Amino acid sequence: MPKKASVIAFTTVLLLVITSSGFQNKTDGEWPAYGGDPGGQRFSALTSINAKNVQSLQVAWTFRTGDAYQPRFGRPTAFEATPLYVGGVLYIGTPLGRIIALDPVAGRQLWSYDSNVPKDKGYGDFANRGVSTWMPASGQRRIYIATIDARLIAVDAANGKPCTDFGDNGIVNLRTGLRIAPRGFSDYEETSPPAIAGNTIIVGSGIADNGSVNQPSGEVRGYDVVTGKLKWTWDPIPQDPKSFGADTWKKGSARGTGAANAWSVIAADPQRNLVFIPTGSASPDFYGGERLGNNLFANSIVALRADTGERVWHFQTVHHDLWDYDVASPPILFDVNRDGKTIPAVGVGSKTGNFFILNRENGEPIFGVEERRVPQTDVPGEVSSRTQPFPLAPRPLAPQKMTAEEAWGGTENDRKWCREEVSKLRAEGIFTPPSVRGSLLIPGNIGGMAWGGAAFDRAHHLLIVPTNNFATQVRLIPRAEYDHERESGRNLNGDWEFAPQTGTPYGMARRMLRGPDGSPCTPPPWGVLNAVDADTAEVKWTVPLGQFPAIGKGPAAPPALGSISLGGPIVTAGGLVFMAGSLDPAIRAFDVVTGKELWKGDLPTSARSTPMTFLGPNGKQYVVVSAGGHGIPGGPPLGDYLVAFTLP
């Protein structure tokens, strides 16, 4: 390369490293947090792998954790972790609560710590999305894991031995001190890595949906990162009748309602001493007659002081949720350049397919939000919100309506069945309330934006956002009929999920809407990757993502139809978006400017995870992704693979 071009390339990379939102990727190519940095931008300044040579990527090594497990009952393990790379070592967490340190060049295990998670407790989401790390100004680096059985554990990064000065010999029991304690063991879990800001480590929780009104409470808690002592607790359901938001819980329902928990990844802005909490629905998801009102601070993004837990601001994405429309997508911090000003921003994706861009300091919408009238409930005892918030920009990133005439199907048999089934349902677009008759929810409960989240390209100020397009069918079942319905299974074409919603007049049944031969009723594409201009909120491109495999009787769908995905993207200064997460066993690279697919790498099974990249001690750039399968009957097999790619 000519000297002038080398200087320009170096200057470009340097500017990318030092100029966005106060977050700096280390020049040695580390990946020190789940999202690359505390604010979750998932950006790397590395350029060794770029649009010109990405087609030459090949597998460097594959490591198997040995932790793929199918319990006697309940769901199998979900290996969803994104590794960290710090100090020349890769660190990964597993669903069974192990922390594994790896040589980054050879993929060889250096040490492992086993938390001895009980395997057969029937976890609702038997997942782990990774570990966290912290290093004092003087002292030894620590690795933290929040295990599926709700323990927060600290170990020495050098050898995996417990940090005896943290909690009880390295362990804090997160099941203690809750307003509503879990009754069943699997009702309360931890699936996401903790956030760390200053000397505080912050954890949310995963709470089983739809069991009852009084599911475990969803407190977010901050602990001293050295000692493990509790510093603060924030309950997303206000308990003091005089506190802000308490009036959004009618008839004293705040006291006995659980959940509204933060199960996704928490983002942090250490410079502003803020953490950004994404919350889900209060319990249960599909009937709110026992929790009338808007239900603050459920289904919200809430900014808290990292050191005290004090609420600074909030923004609610869904009022009085009846659809399981959690804020599942991790918040992402970036800057917006608008009207000659640089505005610190936070992006908030929702299962609704709406993406809100807010001022990070006060929660005010940067591109505007309006309340729009939405369909109203016809269920006795329920009172749905008359309006819901919609961003003026960007436009919805997933379809929000579907008619019977639009219903799809891979075969003539499926198409006929889908259209007839949709015609029976209440289907008035997004926010159609659940009903006894049966309602069509679009987006369904796995998207628009699922927990995979977004990435930010600092060079072009683009937000890269994956979205799902898959409708769900939901029925409320009167209590007197519920047991009979559940026993019979309503096995029209299988796939029904039942939940009692104890404490309400209705049980619940739901399923992803697919025809008898297995093809989706929702018109394709079923998964897409979007690029949104962060400075204008304009959608710059949208491309299909992944390939829907053969499930049931139907054949695999063409690639142009896309696939639902559970996992997120990363962006590099090499002009690339790396994304896995789809149902087919592959990781892909896209051109960040055009969305064109440039490379596809085969995996041993599908990857329900977000990749990462780092610069190894040998000077080579690697892209790493965990592949554990999606746990779908008839789909890609269960796995425990960590796969690294590099250039030859």
DSSP structural state of residue 373: E
Name residue 387's amino acid: T
Check: CB of residue 598 under 8 Å from CB of residue 564. Answer: no
Nearest to 206 by CA among 95, 86, 126: 126
3-state secondary structure of 645: strand
Name residue 71's amino acid: P
Residue with tokens 């939102």: 21
The H or E element that residue 472 is part of is: strand 472-478
Q: Which active-site residues does the annotation give?
A: 324
The H or E element that residue 19 is part of is: none
Radius of gyration of the chain from its Cα atoms, rounded to whole angstroms: 23
Nearest to 626 by CA among 149, 188, 102, 110: 102
Give CA separation, 406 vs 197, 421, 510, 522, 525, in Å: 48, 12, 21, 8, 13
d(CA 59, CA 647): 9
Quote the distance between the C-alpha of residue 15 and its chain's center. Answer: 30
Cβ neighbours of residue 616 under 8 Å, at least 6 residues apart? Answer: 29, 104, 105, 622, 646
Nearest to 43 by CA among 11, 61, 21, 10: 21
C-alpha dihedral sign at 329, 332, 338, 344: positive
DSSP structural state of residue 405: T
Cβ neighbours of residue 50 under 8 Å, at least 6 residues apart? Answer: 572, 574, 575, 576
Name residue 616's amino acid: G
Check: CB of residue 260 under 8 Å from CB of residue 248. Answer: no
DSSP structural state of residue 346: E
d(CA 514, CA 561): 15
How does strand 569-572 pair with strand 300-305? unpaired
The Cβ-side half-sphere exposure at 318, using a 13 Å CA radius, reads 30
Q: Determine the straight-line distance between the first and last CA of the chain, rounded to whole angstroms.
A: 20
How does strand 127-128 pair with strand 78-79? parallel
d(CA 345, CA 343): 6
Residue 235, classified by CB atoms within 10 Å of its CB into exposed (0-12), middle (13-18) or buried (19+), is buried
Check: CB of residue 325 under 8 Å from CB of residue 424. Answer: no
